[in-house]
């Protein structure tokens, strides 16, 4: 198990129990107690746990659990539709090859793809696949396969990563759980992070669709730094200071003003 995966399992277990001992975690993870101590030290620095004598306590007030897909889809739905429609209109073309991650904002792009001919779409999202069925009728839809992560309804793991290693896309579309200038674009799960990195490596242009409500929030892991993203699409409530940082970092920033065709 990779260190990021191990810490994700550790956080999930602690979120359920509240407090744990080092020997207990050592047995669950099948690693040495020294490895557990190093993991707990790292997670304490990130604000997820508070170490105690012989164990740790989960800091639930600081780091909420990742919402389920349905909960995320229903939150600020109008913003998701706004950003998704704009991204489809400005960055998708006939005969194109695109990659869509399985998050709710990017999945909302599916409803805007029916007008494109001979479009090829590859995704790791089960909900994204379902949304694409019957929409991309004049093209090809590819699902990566792999291990299903129920919380997000996505394929993750090495099989999914190997699939994307074979793909050559024009654009890859992503969203994130949060953004700050210091931490970049962050996400709550190590396995989601790894598959996003594999998807990003396939594409010439990486497009981030980010709800303005995500600015200022920090999740568990940095998936992309500012230098890793080419285009940002956000809504008009995004803080200007953050947008200035992104522009200074070389990102082509698009602010959508209430209609899918405006900047």
Residue 94 domain-assigned (yes or no) = yes
CATH of the domain at 46: 1.10.10.10
Query: Are residues 170 and 42 both part of a single domain?
Result: no
Residue 160: CATH number of its domain: 3.40.50.1360
Quick one: 50 and 125 in the same domain? no
Count of structural domains within the chain: 2
Together in a domain, 74 and 156: yes
State pLDDT tens for residues 208-244.
999 999 999 888 889 999 999 999 999 999 999 999 9
Return the CA Rg of the chain.
19
pLDDT value of position 167: 94
Domain that residue 199 falls in = 69-256
Same domain (yes/no): 142, 202? yes
pLDDT of residue 61: 45
Write down the pLDDT at residue 15.
75
At 46 the pLDDT is 66
pLDDT category at 257 given cuts 50, 70, 90 is confident
Residue 73 to residues 15, 20, 30, 220, Cα–Cα distance (Å): 23, 33, 36, 20
| Tens of pLDDT, residues 29-59 | 899 999 999 889 888 876 778 888 899 988 7
Distance CA 58, CA 171 (A): 39
H or E element at residue 99 = strand 97-100
Across 185-200, average pLDDT: 92
Distance separating alpha carbons of residues 154 and 124, to the nearest angstrom: 6
Q: Which residues of 193-212 are buried (b: 16+ CB within 10 A; e: fewer)?
A: bbbbebbbebbeebbbbbbb
Please say if the pLDDT value at position 258 is more than 70.
Answer: no
Q: pTM score, two decimals?
A: 0.74
**Same structural domain, 133 and 207:** yes
């Amino acid at each position: 198990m990779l260190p990021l995966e191990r810490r994700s399992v550790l956080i999930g277990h602690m979120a359920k129990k509240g407090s744990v001992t080092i020997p207990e975690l050592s047995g669950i993870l099948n690693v040495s107690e020294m490895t557990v101590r190093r993991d707990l030290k790292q997670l304490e620095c990130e604000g997820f746990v508070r170490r105690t004598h012989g164990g740790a306590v989960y800091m639930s007030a600081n780091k909420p659990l990742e919402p389920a897909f349905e909960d995320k889809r229903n939150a600020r739905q109008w913003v998701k539709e706004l950003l998704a429609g704009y991204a489809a209109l400005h960055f998708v073309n006939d005969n194109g090859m695109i990659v869509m991650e399985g998050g709710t904002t990017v999945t909302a792009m599916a409803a805007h793809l029916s007008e494109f001919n001979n479009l090829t779409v590859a995704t790791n999202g089960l909900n994204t696949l379902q949304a694409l069925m019957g929409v991309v009728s004049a093209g090809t839809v590819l699902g990566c396969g792999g291990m299903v992560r129920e919380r997000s309804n996505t394929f993750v793991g090495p099989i999914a990563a190997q699939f994307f290693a074979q793909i050559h896309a024009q654009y890859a579309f992503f969203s994130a759980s949060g953004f700050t200038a210091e931490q970049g674009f962050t996400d709550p799960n190590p396995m989601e992070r790894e598959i996003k990195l594999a998807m990003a490596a396939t594409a010439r242009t990486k497009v981030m669709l980010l709800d303005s409500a995500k600015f200022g929030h920090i999740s568990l892991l940095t998936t992309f730094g500012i230098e890793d993203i080419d285009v940002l699409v956000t809504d008009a409530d995004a803080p200007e200071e953050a947008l200035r940082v992104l522009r200074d970092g070389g990102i082509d920033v698009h602010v959508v003003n209430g209609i899918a065709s405006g900047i």
